[in-house]
Structure 1
């Protein structure tokens, strides 16, 4: 970024004389923002690249613990990297006790090369390959989340701000539920406008207290991922301000719908033409190759789409989330859906990822998989008509559990065509450490079932 661009950001920040402190943050492999709080007077230094943080910060586990087997620690002595400004506008934060701001950064090595364990760099590398082909992904994300009552020891649906009663039924597309939480949703949209996040439609989803907010299509996948990371933080912060809590956990309730992270995308050429459009409903051959790439790489990339122990509760057969590697036209039971509509708007919807996934890695895996299919001229299987959930055993299945997904990502030959070896190793090490901790934890259900019965 040029000094002039930096000055524009500083001038905008100067109009907010109520902001005294700022957060300088990078995003780790789990999608968690990590960084430092500094005085607003140091904003110019942050933009100029003065902030340094350990490169290993990008690979901490979900509890913020160092990875015991981290090659970075042993190879470099846990060396610092340079944290450079991403170019995304400085983000104002108004839901904290006092207004603050956030400067988004990404990690570079001392020699000025991108640190390839940074998830934002992983997505950027895929975008550079599309640019070399003269193509631009046009991307929109859809995120589901639950509001819940934070005063209970385990999640419970929130109390309605209107009636004071706890929500106790599923309310898909319920206008009443949207109206009951109108004040919260208004603040979400207002904050999105301040932060430049292109929030579009909001709906009440299938679970009690569950909502979905969609983003508008934009021709900048990095910006779409930035917006999604910031949106998740914004929703959690505003929920607390309204006396709720918000979660993007994939399956917070065993008996209610899970929360997904669906991605819609098309590709434009240098003339702005949608290359998935062939004038008909079936879409172009290039779109078919992109679909084939998504299917071919899906099992290896499931760890990205379902990165946590809880993620696999959402992907169980019959849980209304994809469990088979399949695609189809206007079919919401498949993993890859081709929505209907005008041919000029032909696009692909990827429906596998949970709301708990890292947006940078999700977009890198989806767009990288599509790119491989296009580069190699792959052909997809036949599209599924009807219930894809009933195809158990007839189509390849997604890894059924966390351990299988970790192994598939670790051994995936297509993973190495999308991601740098550094990131592949870091994510596998991180997830194996988390899995080891979960494996050592004995649950209350196990005590109830076995303690005095076996």
Structure 2
């Protein structure tokens, strides 16, 4: 880590940052000349900082604050190390960190540690999850009273229509995307294909598959930070908000995953299109936890505007082969690449919690050798009798708090802290107008 700074003497300051439960970067700005101390000894801030609400306020009834004296945790660098922050004007480095207790034990309220614990359970069984993510976001001109697509830097015109898989839409913002891919290269984020999507000024960038789930979540967290920061340098906003425009589809964060055994073979590969029994077990686990885990996949009030029938987001708890109307899709293609696509999460999620919930529930199904209901065919929105995910934020909070399924793979302290956070947000969001809610979520998520 120290070598990176020596190779980049132009860097004058660093940021040390950890992800809180909402996926917000919390940390400090430090002069680069003191970086060695951070690398060696870490830094400190209160445990409660990873349990702030979406405004960055303490949770009123959190036991982490006054009850425990607002005690400090120790935050140490993750294995990711230093990287540039290309969205800032001054040369600056980012050092991702995560939280530990004074005795060196991981802090269970840290979402990155929650994912690490799930990955450790896979390792104990000789298994390795392989993950890839598709991140959708909007480019938005938020300079006026009404949100709208930014004018093209090339033509100066606004295209006020969805342009699904349009090369013209990509070319209109070519300067931004060229800078974005250059920045991903500098930060070692494996950005692959980009497309225009069905929303107004909406795009998707795929991140390449990775056999390190922690790194995959890091990539998604860093990518969201980068896209939002870089867009501001280009004079507009980028938002992973689930549903900024009521009349257009929202932004999802679809996750593809498979599982390798100790030989490196895909345990979902049956040699044919149907997949193995272990794949079905993983599907069953994901379906069993989906209702109670919806709060992770849809963490904000605005998230539920996306989860409506017929808007390219799943509402029924179902699975199917090559079916994008179902919550779980098994893509076609080479059997060696057989995988599960989990389609519930919005772009506004915390990637660490999302992957912990997806991989944790899949492993629970594998451990139980559970069997899913038969796969659906056709339009899942039109199939009667299917169970559904919660329709409201409040119902999702209630379901999450029950934690019958979730406690198998999420720490009890994290579940408690997350519920307290969301109940506080639910209370104070009720005081905001729809316009104020959009303003809150546009930049924060």
Superposition TM-score tier, normalisation by shorter sequence: over 0.9
Structure-1 separation of matches of 2:155 and 2:411: 52
Contact 1:49–1:85 (8 Å) recurs in 2: no
| 1:407 corresponds to 2:398 | yes
1:424 to partner: Cα distance: 0.2
When residues 368 and 434 of structure 1 are mapped into structure 2, their CA distance, relative to the original with a 3 A threshold, is same
- Aligned length, in residue pairs: 436
- Residue of structure 2 equivalent to 1:438: 429
- Residue of structure 2 equivalent to 1:98: 90
Write the mapping of 1:343-358 to structure 2, written as runs, cut at 5 A.
343-358=335-350
Q: Deviations over 1:95-137 (max 9, x none)?
A: 2121101100000111111100000000000000000000000
- Of 228, 247, 261, 1:269 maps to 261
Structure-1 separation of matches of 2:326 and 2:128: 25
Q: Name the SS of the counterpart of 1:216 in structure 2.
A: strand
Structure-1 separation of matches of 2:145 and 2:36: 43
1:74 to partner: Cα distance: 3.8
Write the mapping of 1:315-330 to structure 2, written as runs, cut at 5 A.
315-330=307-322
- Residue of structure 2 equivalent to 1:14: 6
Q: Name the SS of the counterpart of 1:265 in structure 2.
A: strand
1:443 to partner: Cα distance: 5.1
Contact 2:20–2:49 (8 Å) recurs in 1: yes
- Of 71, 74, 97, 2:63 maps to 71
- Of 300, 308, 312, 1:308 maps to 300
1:163 to partner: Cα distance: 1.6
1:82 to partner: Cα distance: 0.2
Q: Name the SS of the counterpart of 1:319 in structure 2.
A: coil
Q: Name the SS of the counterpart of 1:301 in structure 2.
A: helix
- Residue of structure 2 equivalent to 1:451: none
Q: Name the SS of the counterpart of 2:268 in structure 1.
A: coil
Gaps of 5+ in 1: 1-8, 446-454
Gaps of 5+ in 2: 437-445
Q: Deviations over 1:256-282 (max 9, x none)?
A: 110000000000011100000011110
| 1:424 corresponds to 2:415 | yes
Q: Deviations over 1:280-330 (max 9, x none)?
A: 110000000000000000000000000000000000122220000000000
Structure-1 separation of matches of 2:95 and 2:294: 31
Q: Name the SS of the counterpart of 2:292 in structure 1.
A: coil
| 1:243 corresponds to 2:235 | yes
Contact 1:264–1:347 (8 Å) recurs in 2: yes
TM-score under structure 2 normalisation? 0.96
- Residue of structure 2 equivalent to 1:3: none
Contact 1:95–1:238 (8 Å) recurs in 2: yes
| 1:55 corresponds to 2:47 | yes
- Residue of structure 1 equivalent to 2:388: 397
- Of 7, 16, 19, 1:24 maps to 16
- Residue of structure 2 equivalent to 1:40: 32
TM-score under structure 1 normalisation? 0.94
1:89 to partner: Cα distance: 2.6
